[in-house]
Amino acid sequence: MKTFLTRIVKGVFGTAYKLLSALLPVQHNKVVIASYREDHLSDNFKDVYEKLKQDPSLRITLLFRKMDKGLIGRAAYLLHLFSSLYHLATCRVLLLDDYYFPLYVVPKRKETVAIQLWHACGAFKKFGYSIVNKPFGPSSDYLKIVPVHSNYDYAIVSAPAAVPHFAEAFQMEEKQILPLGIPRTDYFYHKEHIRTVLDEFHRAYPELKHKKKLLYAPTFRGSGHHQEGDATPLDLLQLKSALKLKDYVVMLHLHPYMRKHAHTEEDDFVLDLTDSYSLYDLMAISDGLITDYSSVIFEYSLLKRPMYFYCPDLEDYLEERDFYYPFESFVPGPISKDVPSLVHDIESDHEADKKRIEAFSQTFITHQDGKSSERVADFISSFLTSGAD
């Protein structure tokens, strides 16, 4: 039944797009920025948008909408996607940051340039066509109906090291994968903003000024909009009691789909700051990162601060998802599978990891100049004609 409905939706979308393409011209000064991940501009899109809108002759359309749960929520989201076909059929540039169903089921016009600005920095966990028929990936049967990650003209990545992996994940030629840099890494070069964030944080939490602040940012373990299993594998109460030194505090930043499963209670050791600060603000505030398989390690490496990998389910994750590199030799920090080992890592000397983090950063983030947003915006602008219809 699901397969039948998918075929029907694909047929309706394809027919509507063809009709719109036959009736309407491409607007050569029109950019569409689309995502199902957020309902507002954030991360990679924000600074690129700010650069583009400096040209008042450009037409920029934002298509942001999260899918609500339930039958009504899904129906409303499907209607939103259908109504978006007008903009897909008439834009010169389509900018995405993730999976986008309408693009995969229509005969995209040659005049439209589709650019994938993937939401994760670097290539770490396998995705796309690299995980076909795995629990986290698309099935072969689904791909016969909906060829996901198709119709991209270009993808933008953080470094040449990521190019072959993105080419594999998207089934694209390597020459279409451009290492222009990831716009959101520009955050770490906005020194005045970071100073302001630090000052505001210390005013809000003066008791934490001299404590060591550990950011805990675990990866999202679900698929789609669903979290599977325990959202926070790390037992924070056990961590608190095991730390010999009491001058630590853990700052939480959880994926939106994880929060309702987290069951965390704030005290003098745990602060859930997901709603109060952006992930990048918390990176700047923190003294170290605890994570597992999150791609946040690429951005965090720019800070040259310690990273601790708490991975009690590493073997399971390897089987279900896998990585582009051998995990143990790839990550720039110690790996632990139980709390006592994690505590030992946290309380140990970190000097040995500094060179490793520096080398990791240089390999996977080539452009460390705060100008990635500008490069991406310039690349998009190269396809646009100011004032044209």
* Total Cβ atoms within 10 A of residue 114: 20
* DSSP H or E stretch at residue 328: helix 327-330
> Could you tell me which residues are beta bridge partners of residue 216?
252, 290
Question: Can you tell me the mean pLDDT for 32-36?
Answer: 95
Q: What is the pLDDT of residues 230-242, one digit of tens each?
A: 457 899 989 999 9
Confidence (pLDDT) at 227: 44
Question: Can you tell me the mean pLDDT for 171-195?
Answer: 97
Residue 156, class by beta-carbon neighbours within 10 Å (0-12 exposed, 13-18 middle, 19+ buried)? buried
Question: Can you tell me the mean pLDDT for 212-224?
Answer: 79
CA–chain centroid gap for 98, Å, is 8
Q: Cα Rg for the chain, rounded, in angstroms?
A: 22
Give Cβ neighbours of residue 327 (< 8 Å, ≥ 6 apart). Answer: 311, 314, 318, 335
Confidence (pLDDT) at 224: 46
Q: What are phi and psi of 96, to 5 degrees?
A: -125, 165
What is residue 100's DSSP assignment?
-
**How far, in Å, CA of 284 to CA of 288, rounded?**
10
- Percentage with pLDDT > 70 across the chain: 92
Question: Can you tell me the mean pLDDT for 16-29?
Answer: 98
Would you say residue 358 has pLDDT above 70?
Answer: yes
* DSSP H or E stretch at residue 214: strand 212-216
Q: What are phi and psi of 23, to 5 degrees?
A: -95, -30
Give the mean pLDDT of the chain.
Answer: 91
Q: 62 with 33: CB under 8 angstroms?
A: yes
**How far, in Å, CA of 80 to CA of 35, rounded?**
12
Question: Can you tell me the mean pLDDT for 92-119?
Answer: 97
Reported as a pLDDT band with limits 50, 70 and 90, residue 386 is: low
Strands 288-291 and 212-216 come out as parallel
Question: Can you tell me the mean pLDDT for 1-21?
Answer: 93
User: How much is the pTM?
Assistant: 0.92
Question: Can you tell me the mean pLDDT for 347-353?
Answer: 76
Confidence (pLDDT) at 225: 43
Would you say residue 33 has pLDDT above 60?
Answer: yes
**How far, in Å, CA of 164 to CA of 80, rounded?**
34
Q: What is the pLDDT of residues 49-95, one digit of tens each?
A: 999 999 999 999 999 998 888 888 889 999 999 999 999 999 999 99
Dihedral sign for Cα atoms in the order 22, 24, 30, 34: negative
- For the ranges 64-73, 213-222, 251-260, 348-357, which has the lowest average pLDDT? 251-260
Q: What is the pLDDT of residues 131-168, one digit of tens each?
A: 999 888 899 999 999 999 999 999 999 999 999 999 99
Q: What is the pLDDT of residues 254-292, one digit of tens each?
A: 765 555 545 455 568 999 888 889 999 999 999 999 999
Confidence (pLDDT) at 206: 94
Per-residue burial over 224-234, b if 16 or more Cβ lie within 10 Å, else e, is eeebeeebbeb
